[in-house]
Amino acid sequence: MKVYEGANVRNVAMVGHGHAGKTSLVSAMLYTAGASQRLGRVDDGSAPTDYDEEEIARKMSISAGLAYAEWGQTKINFIDTPGFNMFVHEAKMVLPVVDVAVVVVDGVAGVEVVTQRVWNDCEEYKMPRVIVASRMDRDRADAERVLQSLENAFGRNVIPLELPIGKEKSLSGVVDLVRMKAYTYELGGNGKGREGDIPANMKEAAQAAHEKLVEMIAEGDDGLMEEFFDKGTIPEEHLIPALHNAIREDKIFPVLFASGLGNVSADRLMDFIVEFTPAATEHDAIRGEVTSGDGEPPARKETDSEPVSVYVFKTVSDAFAGRISYFKVFSGVLKNDVSLMNFSRNSQEKLAHISVMQGKTAVPVNELHAGDIGAVAKLKDTLTGDTLGDKSAPIQYPHVKLPEPAITFAIEPKTRADEDKLGVGIHKLMEEDAMLRFFRDAQTKEFLIAGTGQQHIEVVVSKMKKRYHTEVNLKAPKVPYRETIRGRADVQGRHKKPTGGHGQYGDCKIKMEPLSRGSEFEFVKVVLYDGSYHDVDSNDMSFQMAGRIAFRKAMEQAKPTILEPVMAVEITVPDEFAGSIMGDLNSRRGRIQGMDNKGGNTIVKAEVPMSEMLTYGVDLTAMTQGRGSFNMEMHHYDIVPAQQQEKIIEKAKAERGEVKEEEE
């Protein structure tokens, strides 16, 4: 494997909505570059970046997959990310380590819910973006409609750099609007286009699109604008570096056209990545986190001359290789068999047998330069988000901030044998999945598993069965209700039990009053103000019993009420579903807190009782044909309406009754 310096490396995240064609496009580029021997397909499980057994079975990407292509003098590292909203956090996790995001949209559907979500994540990271309208050989694929959808969602900075030649099954190539040349292909061919003249019936449209592109590039640059007005165009030798800079600075979001399955324009996309997207060495210095004191945080420039530092952005648990850590070399040159300090955990790690990943295959390398991406197996303590480096130059790169899991299930092992393996299997899966949580609810005493949605948890359960031979049952979790009072009480509690010798006697008087919400219990607000005792019969146990009697009486008088957890919920749906979502939230006792509109999607913020949200993921999928997404987190406790309180009490009594019957 050839060693590449950072200037000749491009790190690319393939992001976008599910089934937009990301994995097929990566397969086409790898095949065209000679990195794979066949054009891999998702449908038959041969796509290089979808190799996990769950991905093959479900015909969808579940986690980020890595591969690389050597194209000319440049190495392109591809990170193929999932596009389904339950797994799209994997896309956000890789953004800190890439130089550009290729936002793939479907040639028929255009901008979809997850397209908008990954776009927002890219904006958060100030990530240069290239848009590819893929699957242009599909029935009803339409370049004009896709461009309109993109401009409506992302603004006038979206501009085509290509036009497709032919439509649907007659797609035969693209027109390059920078160099004003045509490139033609055979559907399902080797992916390498034949250069030629622009078809006569497209010359007028191509010229108009070229002029619009030139004008957009010249905007904001006085020298280019002057040249544009003088000559009516900008010569190629000035246009290309200006376009490169405009893309790097997020002034232009170029649109290209392709087909992954048809292998049309894979070579053009790789040419474009090499020529127009930024290299790692073009980045500003990356700041670390402040770990102690108030001083300036350390920073690293992505060059070989800085001290070595690597950031782990993904962890995989492999049955044979153990824990595999995927990392980016942010600075310095990483040599094989080097020992580095894990600054996140303050431990030493030896990186033996570093490699680069081609799908699931590890290709050994002796060294990796600043800007490159690699992998290493069997690190002792290192997990996703950790920074390792030269111990004389400490730095910790910032963690990716992810939303809280949206759905929680109670989990219980099917057998005693499963019980012994449950914790081990889940903790290994948690190492590789940043959105998976496993914990015990102290109030309900249940073990809970939380994730982004029902499908996410189903995948976890399936992996546990296949990898760790552990079977579990899932059920809706118990809602952690609480009880409080709304009134005052003044009561006496007396416990008297004569026996043959020493008897039992305790007597106390208490006052009880409510506190402000969230103040918990306070022995001042249950005031013990009087009582009596017996010289012989009184003892600690007797007064505990008297206290219990008094407390029960006080609770009966002080207007007891049940509190329920209320969640802060944010729901994103296409505009056409907004009305039905609002009606559904009202039926769930939800209170709408606000609405926003962005790129054809409605974002609804609401507060909804937890008990009404236990199956919301499935219901939202049904209501929006799978195009809606949501996240929620605990917000506050509130009083349960009287009608619901009766149902909760009846259910609790019934459950206690069942327990008694079982005991009997």
Taking residues 511-535, report their average pLDDT: 77
CATH topology of domain 487-558: Ribosomal Protein S5; domain 2 (3.30.230)
Task: For residue 420, name the pLDDT band (cuts at 50, 70, 90).
Answer: confident
Rg, Å, the chain Cα set: 31
pLDDT of residue 663: 44
Mean pLDDT across the chain, nearest whole number? Answer: 89
SS3 label, residue 147 = helix
Q: What is the dihedral of CA 326, 331, 332, 336, to 10 degrees?
A: 0
Give me the sign of the Cα torsion angle 190, 191, 196, 197.
Answer: positive
Selected residue with higher pLDDT from 232 and 645: 645
pLDDT of residue 621: 82
Taking residues 117-128, report their average pLDDT: 92
Name every residue whose Cβ is closer than 8 Å to that of residue 152 and which is 6 or more positions away in sequence. 111, 599, 600
pLDDT at residue 259 tops 70: yes
**CATH of the domain spanning 407-475:** 3.30.70.870
pLDDT at residue 307 tops 90: yes
Burial-class residue 550 by CB neighbours within 10 Å (0-12, 13-18, 19+): buried
Helices (H) and strands (E) in the chain, counts: 15, 35
Q: Which residue has the tokens 């449209």?
A: 205
Give yes or no on whether 299-389 and 407-475 have one common fold.
no
CATH topology of domain 562-643: Alpha-Beta Plaits (3.30.70)
Write out the DSSP string of 487-552. Answer: S-EEEEEEEEE--SSS-EEEEEEEEE----TT----TTTEEEEEEE--TTT--HHHHHHHHHHHHH
What DSSP element (H or E) covers 648? Answer: helix 642-663
Q: What is the pTM of this model?
A: 0.82
Under 8 Å between Cβ of 92 and 105:
no
pLDDT of residue 520: 65
What CATH class is the domain 6-282? alpha beta
pLDDT tens sequence across 214-241? 888 888 777 888 887 887 778 888 889 9
Neighbour count for residue 500 (Cβ, 10 Å): 5
pLDDT tens sequence across 445-472? 888 998 888 888 999 999 999 888 999 9
> Of the ranges 133-142, 228-237, 369-378, which one carries the lowest mean pLDDT score?
228-237
Instruction: Look at phi and psi of residue 643 and say left if phi exceeds 0, alpha if psi is from -120 to 50, else beta.
Output: alpha
**Would you list the domain boundaries of the chain?**
6-282, 299-389, 407-475, 487-558, 562-643
Say how far apart CA 102 and CA 395 lie, in whole Å.
29
pLDDT at residue 536 tops 80: no
**CATH of the domain spanning 299-389:** 2.40.30.10
Say how far apart CA 138 and CA 262 lie, in whole Å.
10
pLDDT tens sequence across 336-371? 999 999 999 999 999 999 999 999 999 999 999 999
